[in-house]
Copies of this chain bind each other. A is one copy, B any other.
Amino acid sequence: MAMAMAVAPASRSSDDRQAVAGAGEGGGGDPAAQRRERMFEKVVTPSDVGKLNRLVVPKHFAEKYLPLPPPPAAAAARAAAAGPAGTVLCFHDARGRAAWRFRYSYWSSSQSYVMTKGWSRYVRDKRLAAGDTVSFCRDGARLFIDCRRRRRPAAPAPAAAAPPAMAAFLPPASCRVVVDAEEAQRGRRLRLFGVDLELRAGAGAGEPLLLDLQL
C-alpha cells in the first residue's frame, strides 16, 4: 500500500479549517469548543475506510493520549478471559449530539492500536473516504471526534467514470479495469450498464486481476 501516512498533531496552522469544533457548519461559535484540547488527527488511509473495519491509531498518539491498561503487557489474561480485550471509548460528535462508541484495543500481532467495533458505522455515516481527516479532541475526560473532507475531492471512482446509459448501444472505445488483487480477494463490485458484477478471486492470487471490457 503506497499511501502516505499523513498523520500530524492537530496544529493550529492556517489551513487547519474547523479542525476541532467545526466552526464552519455545525458548531456555530460554541464557546465550549474552545476549551477542547486537541489530541491528534489522522488522514485516513484506504484501509481505514475499507472493509477491514478498523482505524489504526498511530502508536505515539495512542500511547500519549489513549493509553490502554496493559497494552504490550502480556500478563496472565487467562483468568479474566471474559470479554474481548481492550476497552470501549465513547466520543462525542464535535458537530452534533451524537455519540460514537468504538472498541479500542492493541493488536499485538501488528503491534498497533486500533479502533474496531463501531468504527465502520462512523465511516458509513460520515461517508468518510480515503484522504479525509479525522481529529480527536478532549475536554477533561470527555472525548470528541470530528472529520473533514480532503481538500481536492479526487476522482470519485475510476470505474464509474460516467459511462452514459446509451454507451452500450453506441460502443465507445475499449476500457480496462484493473482490480487490485487484494481488493479482488475481498470481493470487488463493478457496475456495468446497471448490472452489478461481483468479482472474487481465489485465495492465492498474487497479481492484479484484469477485466478487459471491449465495448
Contacts and interface: CB of A to CB of B under 8 A. Distances in A.
Interface of A: 78, 81-82, 168, 181, 192-215
Given A168-B194, A193-B195, 19 more contacts: A168-B195, A181-B202, A192-B192, A195-B213, A195-B214, A196-B214, A197-B212, A198-B211, A199-B210, A199-B212, A200-B210, A201-B202, A202-B204, A202-B209, A203-B206, A203-B207, A204-B204, A204-B205, A205-B206
Contacts of A204: 202, 204-207
B215 A198 contact: no
A118 to B, nearest CB: 14
Copies in the complex: 2
Contacts of A209: 199-202
Nearest to A209: B201
A211 B187 CA distance: 10
A206 B181 CA distance: 13
A201 B194 CA distance: 24
Contacts of A181: 202
A204 B185 CA distance: 12
A204 B181 CA distance: 11
Contacts of A203: 205-207
A204 to B, nearest CB: 4
A213 B200 CA distance: 12
B214 A207 contact: no
A208 B204 CA distance: 11
5 contacts: A181-B202, A196-B213, A199-B212, A202-B204, A204-B206
B197 A195 contact: no
A156 to B, nearest CB: 18
A209 B203 CA distance: 10
